[in-house]
Amino acid sequence: MGKQLQKTIVDILKKTINRQLYYYLDICTRCSICKNACHQYIMTNDLIYLPAYRAELILRIYRKYLTRTGRFISALNRAREIDEQWLDDLYKVTYSCTGCRRCMYYCPFSIDTSWLLALGKAILVAADKYPPIISEISNASIFKGENMEILKEDIIEGLKEYEKELQEKVDDPSATIPVDLKGADILYVSLPGSYSVLTAASIFHQARANWTLSLYEPANFGYFLGDTEKAAVTAKRIIDEAKRLEVKEIVISECGHGYRVMKWLWDTWSKEENPFKIRCILEVMAEYIKEERIRLNRGQIQKALTYHDPCQLARNSGIYEEPRYILRQIATDFRELTPNREKNWCCGGGGGLQAEPELEDFRLKTGEKKVEQIRNSGAKIVVAPCDNCRLQLEDLNKKYNLDISVYSVMELVADATVISKPVFPISNLD
């Protein structure tokens, strides 16, 4: 390992480790109380997946390079040098963590474990050691933003097909999917694909909302990478679009980390103030139902149905009740997973793990806690308002023969909305 890289890493430590973070690291390395809160530790019985181990790795090099004892007598305080093995160890335990923060919920010292995780990722990014696929997706997303003027016409052309489908579904030839509409109330930031665009278009149409579709997606692989510059650039495109169109608010589709980035993280990274109200589509749908702007076929689903709280939307953003309110309107047999809300188990697929093929076995193994919860609930339908969670739940379904169907909340709402034909052919659920 070159001296320059060692120096870069030490500079990151100097810049990042303040008194508070130092005490976090120091306490954490002597603790592990949260071990039974982590699905990865429980399913592997391997302490390396815990925050305490990550803290220990970082603290040992801090001691080596930034304390007098460590510099001269490393054995006294378990200080160690930065070398390839140390980087490999840090990589293994950093990019495998889903960032679910369940450990933080159970930490008696209220240590924000995502701060330790972010430091680990910042070091790895500086060392050019990260999952290549996550980096490629992040770069592709930034490229799209830089070339939007060229790509825009193709995107709009592609949406015309969705628009025809929408008109047929809602039985109204005037229904549109507006893009670039200046002065709209809502800028809706959708995931790619009809299940996110068409369902929202149907709901907005029936609520008579003044909305426009964003040219960008909420997914932010710069965030998974731990590269806050890339993550901020990716998120800023949406803020800039909202400014250009002079909308009143930004509504994020069912994307857990995408919502958290826009709502809670972007301002900190960019050091700019976000002038827009940010809401998740779940909040908007619940409001439409309460205000009777959309009407649902109550009790349309009779099969046992449960709800998975995505970590980034629930524990890490505080959205618990809106999806439950919506689902209780549609389903006659709504069952909670145990535990739920802020204590819910991570599905095992977040943090970018879904995109990392080499972690597939680990992801499926550590998802077994979620499998156990679903089995115990007896539910046949599992609803999750996050793409990463849904992909993981589908994989768990196949691997463990759960015999469940997995849906987003939007799919069920669009399907149960009175007056439209079913947007998706799922009304035969019962």
Binding site for ligand SF4 (CB under 6 A): 27-28, 31-34, 37-38, 40, 50-52, 97-103, 107, 109, 111, 113, 346
Q: How far is the CB of 190 from ligand SF4 (least distance, A)?
A: 28
Distance CA 41, CA 54 (A): 13
Distance CA 430, CA 424 (A): 14
Sign of the Cα pseudo-torsion (166, 258, 151, 215, in order):
positive
DSSP state string for 316-336: TT---HHHHHHHHHHBSSEE-
In this structure, the chain runs to a length of 430
Contact partners, residue 266, CB within 8 Å, separation at least 6:
232, 235, 236, 239, 274
Structure tokens that stand for 416 in this block: 């149960």
Residue (99 or 323) nearer to ligand SF4, CB: 99
Q: How far is the CB of 90 from ligand SF4 (least distance, A)?
A: 14
Residue (109 or 143) nearer to ligand SF4, CB: 109
Residue (37 or 187) nearer to ligand SF4, CB: 37
Residue (347 or 379) nearer to ligand SF4, CB: 347
3-state secondary structure of 363: helix
Token look-up 């070159």 returns 2
Q: How far is the CB of 155 from ligand SF4 (least distance, A)?
A: 35
Distance CA 135, CA 127 (A): 13
Q: How far is the CB of 224 from ligand SF4 (least distance, A)?
A: 13
Angle at 33 between CA 52 and CA 131, to 5 degrees: 35
Residue (87 or 100) nearer to ligand SF4, CB: 100
Q: How far is the CB of 115 from ligand SF4 (least distance, A)?
A: 10
Distance CA 62, CA 120 (A): 12
Residue (98 or 199) nearer to ligand SF4, CB: 98
Under 8 Å between Cβ of 55 and 316: no
Under 8 Å between Cβ of 197 and 190: yes
Q: How far is the CB of 148 from ligand SF4 (least distance, A)?
A: 34
Number of neighbouring beta carbons within 10 Å of residue 143: 11
Q: How far is the CB of 418 from ligand SF4 (least distance, A)?
A: 41
Residue (92 or 244) nearer to ligand SF4, CB: 92
